[in-house]
């Protein structure tokens, strides 16, 4: 059992006048008992707006007023402020007076400022506003060049409501909504990557750009579509911005071709495909894949027949379109390497049938004077497809 401290006991019992007299007579807050009760002591002083006792604690060096000397904000008076569950007028008035007694309030402690510490601890937004009013700067960026908007979005402990309040405060204070970190990632990209759709609206309303590119050449649309398969996020982004389908990443690929490459036959991705087509995606667009140029038609030719059928229903395909080698979509389907897979042969037959029924011309020749039939005849597993093509001549 630790020996009790008279000043601490007086404060904890709400006898602030007694505590004041004890300190004036030379008694100090010290010892393990005080350390164990520091947070509660500060909470009482804040709640009672006991700024006179704070001044005595400053004189006695119990509270250090130079933040540059701090090793951590934890167990300081600021941690008690950060964790206040209810900030009434008394607490706001106390904070206003307290900040006047401190210097270097914008100095970093463990790569974080006082304001940043309070933001990430989920401090009452009213207190955040008071800290800013008291001189805490909002333009700080950490070692990764992440501003406070980015840090708020990245903090998993914050509730959606608190985070949105913070974003409203920070944008109102002029924090750059499109500030990139050292990897080129913007707050909007981060919100999409973390599926924090409640944040997307605020960011977009305040001018966040969905076409900004990171160091890999990817933008927010890319992350919503190709990393998260997030139809709702894509829809929200399109309410404020349009997709630049010509944007390429550092590997020479683009959003639509990458989506088609990874696309599976599920309802969510089918919805995304439809939304991308509505937004202006075109199967003629091409990108680089391991040094080779592949168009949307190339990727579509490799997909299940059900995806091909859906694309046809969207009236998004030019069945007579020929690439630089003269190949149509039917050429691409018929030349697909089955790799000795009988199920793939059955799927190729179905795709060929779908295209022929949709009006694909089987007599078009490519630059090598080859028809789709010529290409299909090069693999014995494609015999059913060959018969189908011959019956359509």
**pLDDT per position as a tens digit, 23-39:** 999 898 989 998 999 99
| Mean pLDDT of the 294-302 span | 97
3-class SS of residue 2:
coil
3-class SS of residue 153:
helix
For the stretch 332-381, pLDDT in tens is: 999 999 999 999 999 999 999 999 999 999 999 999 999 999 999 999 99
In the prediction, which pLDDT does 86 show?
63
In the prediction, which pLDDT does 325 show?
96
Q: For the range 182-185, what are the long-range contacts, defined as Cβ-Cβ under 8 Å and sequence gap of 24 or more? A: 182/144, 182/145, 183/144, 183/214, 183/215, 184/213, 184/214, 184/215, 184/216, 185/150, 185/214
For the stretch 41-93, pLDDT in tens is: 999 999 889 999 999 999 999 999 999 999 999 999 999 999 887 666 777 88
What's the CA gap between 334 and 379, in Å, rounded? 10
3-class SS of residue 97:
helix
Cα-to-chain-centroid distance, residue 128? 23
233: CB partners within 8 A, 6+ apart: 192, 195, 197, 200, 224
In the prediction, which pLDDT does 366 show?
97
Examine the pLDDT at 109 and tell me if it is beyond 70. Answer: yes
In the prediction, which pLDDT does 91 show?
79
* pLDDT-based confidence at residue 257 (cuts at 50, 70, 90): very high
| Mean pLDDT of the 303-307 span | 95
149 and 167 in contact (C-beta within 8 Å)?
A: yes
* pLDDT-based confidence at residue 138 (cuts at 50, 70, 90): very high
For the stretch 210-222, pLDDT in tens is: 999 999 999 999 9
In the prediction, which pLDDT does 231 show?
98
Average pLDDT, the chain: 94
Q: What is the DSSP letter of 229?
A: -
In the prediction, which pLDDT does 2 show?
75
In the prediction, which pLDDT does 89 show?
74
In the prediction, which pLDDT does 1 show?
64
In the prediction, which pLDDT does 93 show?
85
C-alpha torsion angle, residues 82, 128, 123, 206 (rounded to 10): -150
322 and 330 in contact (C-beta within 8 Å)?
A: no
For the stretch 316-338, pLDDT in tens is: 999 999 999 999 999 999 999 99
| Mean pLDDT of the 257-267 span | 94
pTM score: 0.91
Strand partners, 366: none
Terminal CA-CA length for the chain: 98
In the prediction, which pLDDT does 87 show?
64
Element (H, E) at 11: helix 6-12
């Amino acid at each position: 059992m630790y020996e009790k401290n008279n000043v601490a006991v007086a404060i904890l019992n709400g006898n602030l006048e007694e505590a004041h007299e004890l300190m004036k007579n030379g008694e100090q807050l010290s010892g393990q008992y005080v350390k164990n009760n520091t947070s509660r002591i500060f909470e009482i002083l804040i709640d009672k707006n006991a700024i006179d006792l704070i001044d005595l604690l400053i004189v006695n060096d119990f509270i250090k007023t130079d933040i540059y000397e701090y090793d951590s904000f934890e167990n300081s008076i600021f941690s008690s402020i950060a964790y206040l569950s209810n900030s009434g007028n008394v607490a706001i008035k106390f904070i206003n007076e307290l900040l006047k007694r401190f210097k270097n309030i914008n100095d970093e402690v463990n790569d974080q400022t006082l304001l940043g510490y309070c933001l990430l601890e989920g401090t009452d937004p009213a207190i955040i506003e008071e800290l800013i009013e008291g001189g805490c700067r909002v333009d700080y960026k950490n070692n990764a060049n992440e501003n406070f908007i980015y840090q708020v979005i990245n903090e998993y402990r914050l509730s959606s409501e608190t985070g949105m309040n913070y974003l409203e405060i920070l944008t109102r204070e002029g924090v750059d909504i499109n500030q990139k970190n050292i990897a080129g990632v913007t707050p909007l990209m981060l919100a999409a990557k973390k599926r924090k759709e409640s944040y997307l609206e605020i960011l977009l309303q305040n001018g966040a750009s969905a076409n900004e590119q990171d160091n890999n050449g990817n933008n927010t649309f890319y992350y919503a579509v190709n990393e998260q398969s997030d139809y709702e996020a894509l829809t929200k982004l399109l309410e404020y911005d349009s997709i630049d389908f010509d944007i390429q990443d550092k590997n020479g690929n683009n959003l639509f071709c990458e989506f088609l490459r990874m696309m599976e036959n599920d309802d969510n991705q089918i919805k995304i495909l439809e939304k991308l087509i509505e937004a202006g995606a075109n199967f003629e667009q091409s990108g680089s894949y391991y040094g080779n140029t592949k168009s949307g038609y190339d990727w579509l030719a490799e997909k299940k027949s059900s995806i091909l059928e859906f694309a046809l229903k969207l009236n998004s395909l030019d069945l007579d379109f020929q690439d630089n080698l003269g190949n149509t979509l039917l050429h691409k389907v018929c030349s697909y390497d089955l790799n000795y897979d009988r199920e793939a042969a059955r799927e190729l037959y179905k795709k060929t049938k779908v295209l022929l029924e949709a009006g694909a011309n089987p007599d078009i020749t490519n630059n090598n004077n080859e028809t789709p039939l010529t290409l299909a005849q090069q693999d014995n597993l494609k015999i059913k497809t060959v018969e189908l093509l011959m019956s359509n001549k």
